[in-house]
Structure 1
Amino acid sequence: MSPGHHHSYYLTDRERVIELNWPPQPQTHRMSLKGRVIRLLRNGPHPGPPEVNVDPEAFGAAVKVLERQDVEVAINAFTSLGYEVTVRAPR
């Protein structure tokens, strides 16, 4: 599996859904230097697409951790890759 903008995994042992979302690209409208600094401090940098910015091997390693049902370690791994991670109960 390769990095993408959205992934969803169902963990059968934990009965939880793990959703990965790549942060959206920033708006391209012109902004003052002060506005850029404030946005950077508040939201952090906005990366480009995950296909370019995420190492496929690191993504695969994080998926393997998730397949072992180790949720906490997997969340840390995906977060460090730049994904926003949501854990929820299945519908």
Structure 2
Amino acid sequence: MKKKKILSLLLLFLFIGIVKDSDEFGSSYRLFLKKPWHFRIVYINPWSEQDWSELARNPEAVKNLKTYCQAILLPDKLDKRDCSHIND
């Protein structure tokens, strides 16, 4: 029983991530599937319906968005829009 719990937690840690979405109304959190070998648990998506030129002036925000875009396995429509500005 204990081994099953540990295995379940390990699998959740390896394949499930949490993204913090920030917008003009505040912050929200959602789960997403991670690509293998991304060990971070919480990612930040700072995009929030703002103009890309504003976001591009903040290197830390661009770095956070790039890290999130590299880790996501199955992006939805909004993720594809957000990540389309990031070049690998």
TM over 0.5: no
TM-score (structure 1 length as normaliser): 0.30
Rg: which structure is higher? 1
Where relative contact order (Cα < 8 A, 6+ residues apart) is larger, the structure is: 1
